[in-house]
Each structure stands twice: as C-alpha cells, then as structure tokens.
C-alpha cells in the first residue's frame, strides 16, 4: 500500500504534502531527506489516526512520489476495509477470537499478527493471502 506525495522546492528546502492526507506536511533540505521525512510523517499520522479510530482516506492521488506504508499499518487499514460495516465483535466471532484480540489486530500500535492469523482472516473474508517479503 502506498500514498503518493508531491514535493516542491522552496529556496533551500523541499516541501512535501500528501494530497490524500491533507493533515501531513513536512520538508527536507534535499529530495532524499524530504522523502525520508515523508515516510516518517505518513506512518506516524496513519498510526495515530487508526489508533484513535479516525477515518483514513484511501490512496487516490497517483502523481508525484510513492511512499510505502509500513506493513503493520497497512494490515490494520486493510482489516478495517475488509470489515466494512460489520462490527469488530462479529468479525472476532467469525475468526474464533475474543473481541479484544481482534481489536488489537486493527490497532497498529498493538498488532503483531502471525501468518496463521492472517491466513484465518483471509479465509474468513473469502480472500487469498498474498505475502510479499522484501
């Protein structure tokens, strides 16, 4: 999962914004530093928004520079999307987990699912688990 950012030069710095995430702005003194700051800002903002239960817009902007979302954050976002309008309690029952255990899966600050758990989730949503390492 990636969100794309725009980088503009302003004097001796490079400003970064995410059109899909209007609450993120950062900068760097080189393009490489600006991209590193963009990654840090994106992951931090997404983690905070998800942990607080805030709505997170799906990535739609396709121009600019792609910034990959940390895997633990991407898993939490994808679980929220898969769950749709169903409650966490309903999904927990479907997976044979406690409500609290499922709730942790959607919280990137507390989640650390095993591959077996991800396989159970994929099966419960009639999906195939695609694992990409590296």
**Which residues fall within 8 angstroms of residue 124, CB to CB, at 6 or more apart?**
91, 94, 95
Q: What are the residue boundaries of the structural domains of the chain, listed by start?
A: 2-68, 71-124
Of 31-35, 43-47, 123-127, give the lowest mean pLDDT range: 123-127
pTM above threshold 0.75:
yes
CA-nearest of 44, 110, 108 to 77 is 108
Q: Residues of 103-118 as b/e, b for ≥16 C-beta within 10 angstroms?
A: bbbbbbeebebeeebb
Judge whether 91 and 83 are in contact, CB under 8 Å: yes
Query: One fold for both 2-68 and 71-124?
Result: no
What is the arithmetic mean of pLDDT over 76-92?
A: 90
Please check whether the domain covering 71-124 is classified as CATH 1.10.260: yes
pLDDT, one tens digit per residue, over 62-77 is: 999 999 999 889 989 9
Residue 57 has pLDDT above 80, yes or no: yes
| Rounded distance between C-alpha atoms, residue 63 and residue 75, angstroms | 24
Give me the architecture of the 2-68 domain, per CATH: 2-Layer Sandwich (3.30)
Pairwise CA distance, residues 72 & 54, whole Å: 17
């Amino acid at each position: 999962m990636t969100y794309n950012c725009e980088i503009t030069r302003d004097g001796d710095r490079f400003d970064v914004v995410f059109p899909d995430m209007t609450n993120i702005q950062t900068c760097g003194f080189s393009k490489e530093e600006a991209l590193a700051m963009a990654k840090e800002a994106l992951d931090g903002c997404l983690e905070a928004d998800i942990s607080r239960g805030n709505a997170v817009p799906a990535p739609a902007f396709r121009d600019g520079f792609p910034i990959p979302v940390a895997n633990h954050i991407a898993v939490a976002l994808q679980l929220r999307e898969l769950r749709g309008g169903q409650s966490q309690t309903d999904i927990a029952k479907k997976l044979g987990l406690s409500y609290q255990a499922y709730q942790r899966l959607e919280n990137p600050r507390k989640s650390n699912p095993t591959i077996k758990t991800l396989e159970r989730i994929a099966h419960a949503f009639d999906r195939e688990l695609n694992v990409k390492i590296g």
